Amino acid sequence: MSAWKPLNRLHSPLELVRQFTPNWFTVNMGTGIVFLLLAQFPAPSPALHALAHRLFFADAAIFAVFVALFVSRWVLFTRHAMPLLHHPVQSMFLGALPMALVPLINGLVLFYPGNAATAHWALQLWWLDVVLSLATGWIVPWYQFTTQEHSLDRMTGVWLLPVVPAEVAASSAGFLAQHLPASQAQPIVAAGYALWGVSVPIALGILTVLYLRLALHKLPPKELGVSTWLSLGPIGTGAFALLTLGAAAPGAFAATPMAAVAALAGPLGILGALVLWGLGLWWLVTAVALTAIQVRRGLPFNLGWWGFTFPLGVYTAASLTLGLRTGIPFFTAFAAALIVALVGAWIVVAARSAHGLWHGHLVHAPCLHAARTGSGPAALQPGSASG
C-alpha cells in the first residue's frame, strides 16, 4: 500500500473502514487499565480521580467509534474482512475487543457505586463480554489449528491474545460481584471461576512453549519485539482474578451450601495470586531485558507498543490488590512505582499512535496484502503487528 497522507485530507472514510483492524482495540485496553489504576492510586487524590473519570469517558467514546468501524468493515467489505480470520498474527487480535470492553464495565461500578441502573448495565455488558471472550477463545484457535500456517520459530506472545479474554472477564466477575446483591453475584462468581479455568491453564501452556521458542530460536523480529510483554497479561490477570473472586465469593454464597467452600476462596486466592505474582516478576524482568536488546537493534513503532500498557497494567493491579489484601507495604509501593511507569508509557504510546493515525502510517490491514499475494510470511513483515 502506498504511503498515506493525513486521512482527513486525502482518503475516503470508506478506506479507513476497509483497512480497520482489531489491533486498534489495544488502545482501549491500555487506556482502560490506566484510568482504573489512576482512580485507585495508593495516594488518593481528587485531581487523579477526576482525570481518571475523564479518561473513562474518552475511552468509552473511542471504543464506540472503533466498534462502529469494525462492524462497518464486516458489513460493507465482507470479502476484504474474511482474510483476517486466516492471518496467523492479525486474527489473534480479535481477542482485544472483549478485553477492551472490560475496563469500561469495571469503570461503571467504580465511578458510580451504589447506582442500581449502572450496575444493571454493567451486568448486561459483562455477559456480552463473556460471549465474545468464549467466541474468540474457540474460533481463533480453530482457525489456528485448521487453516493458518504456523511454526515454532515464528511463534510470539500474540498467541495469548485469543485465550486471555476469558480470564479478563473472570477478573471483572469478582470486581462486579462485590457491587451486586448475593442473588445476582452467585452466578457471576461461579462463571468467573469457570472462565478462569477456560483461560489460565491454556495460557500457561502457551507460555511454556514460548519459553522453548525463545531458547531455540532467540528473539522475535524487531517488528514484534514488544510481544514479549504480553506474557505478563495472563499471569497478572490470573492473579487479579483469584483476588477479586476470592473477595466476592464469601458474600455471594453466604447462607448457602457453598458457604464453607466460599470462605476458603479468599485465603486460597491470596496464596494463588502470590505464586502467580512471582512468576510474573520473572517475566517482567525478562521482558525488560529483552526489550533493551530490541531497542539497540532499532525497535520500530507500531500498535504492538500498546503491549507495554495492558499486560503491565493488570500485573500492577494484582500487585496493588495484594498490598490491600495482605497488608504488606512492599506490594503497595511496588504497584505505585509501576503505575507511574505505566502512565509514562501510555503517554508516549498514545501520542505516537495519534500521530500515526493522523498521517495514516498505522492504518493498513496486512491480511489484505497476504490475501493478494497468497504469502503467509507477510504476517511477519514490518507493520504486521500494527495492522
Can you give the length of the chain in residues? 387
Most confident of 73-87, 272-286, 353-367: 272-286
How confident is residue 372, by pLDDT bands cut at 50, 70 and 90? low
How confident is residue 364, by pLDDT bands cut at 50, 70 and 90? confident
Tell me the C-alpha to C-alpha distance, in Å, between residue 171 and each of 49, 185, 260, 355.
Answer: 22, 13, 22, 33
Whether the per-residue pLDDT at 340 is higher than 60: the answer is: yes
CB 261: neighbour CB atoms within 10 A? 13
Whether the per-residue pLDDT at 5 is higher than 70: the answer is: no
Mean pLDDT of 229-253: 97
- pLDDT of 374 reads 53
Mapping DSSP onto H, E and C, the string for 20-55 reads CCHHHHHHHHHHHHHHHHHHCCCCCCHHHHHHHHHH
Give the residue, 379 or 211, on which the prediction is more confident: 211
Query: In 3D, which of 96, 201, 75, 78 has the Cα closest to residue 140?
Result: 96
Share of the chain above pLDDT 70, in %: 91
Q: Give the Cα separation of 306 and 303 in Å (integer).
A: 6
pLDDT in tens, 120-149: 999 999 999 999 999 999 999 999 999 999
How confident is residue 7, by pLDDT bands cut at 50, 70 and 90? very low
- pLDDT of 376 reads 45
DSSP assignment of 146-195 equals: HT----GGG--GGGGTTTTHHHHHHHHHHHHHTTS-HHHHHHHHHHHHHH
Give the lowest-confidence range in 58-72, 208-222, 321-335, 346-360.
Answer: 346-360
Q: Give the Cα separation of 230 and 66 in Å (integer).
A: 22
How confident is residue 359, by pLDDT bands cut at 50, 70 and 90? confident
Element (H or E) spanning 364, and its range?
A: none
Q: How far is CA 97 from the centre of its chain?
A: 9
Indicate the residue type of 249. A
- pLDDT of 361 reads 72
Whether the per-residue pLDDT at 384 is higher than 50: the answer is: no
pLDDT in tens, 173-223: 999 999 999 999 999 999 999 999 999 999 999 999 999 999 999 999 988
CB proximity list for 346: less than 8 A, separation 6 or greater: 30, 31, 34, 309
Q: Which domains does the chain have, with CATH numbers?
A: 7-380 (1.50.10.150)
Q: Give the Cα separation of 280 and 287 in Å (integer).
A: 10
Whether the per-residue pLDDT at 382 is higher than 90: the answer is: no
Give the lowest-confidence range in 33-37, 67-71, 218-222, 346-350.
Answer: 218-222
- pLDDT of 1 reads 36
Q: Give the Cα separation of 196 and 175 in Å (integer).
A: 14
- pLDDT of 125 reads 98
Whether the per-residue pLDDT at 385 is higher than 80: the answer is: no
Query: In 3D, which of 200, 88, 94, 224 has the Cα closest to residue 144?
Result: 88
